[in-house]
Amino acid sequence: MKPRLVYVNGRFVPYPSASVHVEDRGFQFGDSVYEVWAVMDGGLIDAAAHLRRLERSLGELRMTPPFTPAALDRVLREAVRRNRVREGLVYLQITRGAGPRDPLFPPHDRSATVVVIARGVDRAAVDARAEAGISVSSQPDQRWGRCDIKTTGLLANVLSKQAARAVGAAEAWLVDGEGRVTEGASSTAWILDPAGRLRTRALDAAILPGVTRARVMEIARREGLEVVEAAFTPEEALGAREAFNTSASGFVTPVVRVDGRPLGDGRPGPVALRLRALYLDHVRNTRPQIGVCAQEPGS
Ligand code: PLP
């Protein structure tokens, strides 16, 4: 769904005319970070955790945060409000600014470019996808060595996702040099192994520390499930009881085929569906308290 107003460098401008400078470093070098929040019932999900990850991404790239977390939180909420988003996503991008093309950091901490786009999503379609389950295709992980930073340098993710699409899969599972899945092109990958333990790769520089991953892990442990942070191969996934992906945009999405072969009976597993339901319950129950700033925008 098309946004109406987009935040660009301090102003809300109409979507069709929103633009940044041609020499923006995000455009020329991918010298930029981003974050994505889910919006449910008009509220931001896990706002504080995403803001913390954003601060970390900025810090790792030695970019000065252009706002305090509370001010940024207000801009995000204002973007949601002005676009009347009830169910959707908020995308934030911060670049190291614009200037004559030079890979070196600018001598002065010139002002960052900040863009916020809030848009509605068809949640019924997202739910239908989860109910049916998705296919994943394993693809070589060709990304750089700092995938723990949420940068817009996503070309390898784009190419992997496109390659997955070409073979009829909705997501790519990226596979490292040892044959183990790092993560999805835009999600965290999980299995329920034959012993009934949930498995997902341990956090390291090869994967993004998913906010949904942390939340689902907490929920699973509370439910008495054993969670093991250990990577798995696509072959192990095919021998698993269940598999699923997590992300802010898809929540918990069951995986029913890997590389064209059905996983189990080829239907979403009960544990994945239960974790999805529990995650959605958690989101609905905690939403009013979520956020780092209780103030209304402009107050
Ligand atoms: N891994 C990658 C590469 C991603 O792009 C994403 C989300 O976009 C995730 C994992 C899931 O992260 P989160 O749960 O914070 O959305």
Q: Which two tokens stand for residue 116?
A: 């916020």
- The reply to whether 295 falls in a domain is no
- The reply to whether 291 falls in a domain is no
pLDDT for residue 291 is more than 60: no
Residue owning the nearest CA to atom 4 of ligand 1: 186
Assess whether 110 and 133 both reside in one domain: no
Tally the domains of the chain.
2
Active-site positions?
Answer: 150
Measuring CA to CA, how many Å separate 287 from each of 38, 93, 130, 207? 11, 23, 22, 27
Ligand 1 within 6 A of 188 CB? Answer: yes
Atom of ligand 1 nearest to the CA of 207: 1
Atom of ligand 1 nearest to the CA of 157: 3
- The reply to whether 175 falls in a domain is yes
- With cut-offs at 50, 70 and 90, classify the pLDDT of residue 290: very low
Q: Where are the beta strands (DSSP E) in 166-241?
A: 171-175, 181-184, 188-192, 198-200, 227-229
Taking the alpha carbons of 95, 100, 101, 107 in that order, is the dihedral positive or negative? negative
Assess whether 31 and 147 both reside in one domain: no
Ligand 1 within 6 A of 248 CB? Answer: yes
pLDDT for residue 289 is more than 70: no
Ligand 1 within 6 A of 186 CB? Answer: yes
Assess whether 114 and 155 both reside in one domain: no
Give me ligand 1 centre to Cα 37, in Å: 11
What's the pLDDT tens digit per position in 47-101?
A: 999 999 999 999 999 999 999 999 999 999 999 999 999 999 999 999 999 999 9
What's the pLDDT tens digit per position in 114-144?
A: 999 999 999 999 999 999 999 999 999 999 9
pLDDT for residue 298 is more than 90: no
pLDDT at 50: 97
Measuring CA to CA, how many Å separate 86 from each of 67, 90, 216, 287, 294? 25, 11, 23, 13, 18
pLDDT for residue 296 is more than 60: no
We report the CATH number of the domain holding residue 217 as: 3.20.10.10
What's the pLDDT tens digit per position in 153-196?
A: 999 999 999 999 999 999 999 999 999 999 999 999 999 999 99
- Whole domain around residue 212: which residue ranges? 126-284
Residue owning the nearest CA to atom 5 of ligand 1: 186
**Mean pLDDT, the chain, whole residue set:** 94
Can you name the residues that pair with 57 across neighbouring β-strands?
none
Cα distance between residue 126 and residue 184, in whole Å: 17
Give me ligand 1 centre to Cα 94, in Å: 17
- The reply to whether 17 falls in a domain is yes
Assess whether 266 and 140 both reside in one domain: yes
- Residue among 92, 147, 247 to mutate when testing ligand 1 (max atoms within 8 A of CB): 247
CB 149 within 8 A of CB 60: yes
Q: Where are the alpha helices (DSSP H) in the chain?
A: 25-29, 47-60, 69-82, 123-132, 155-166, 211-222, 234-238, 270-286
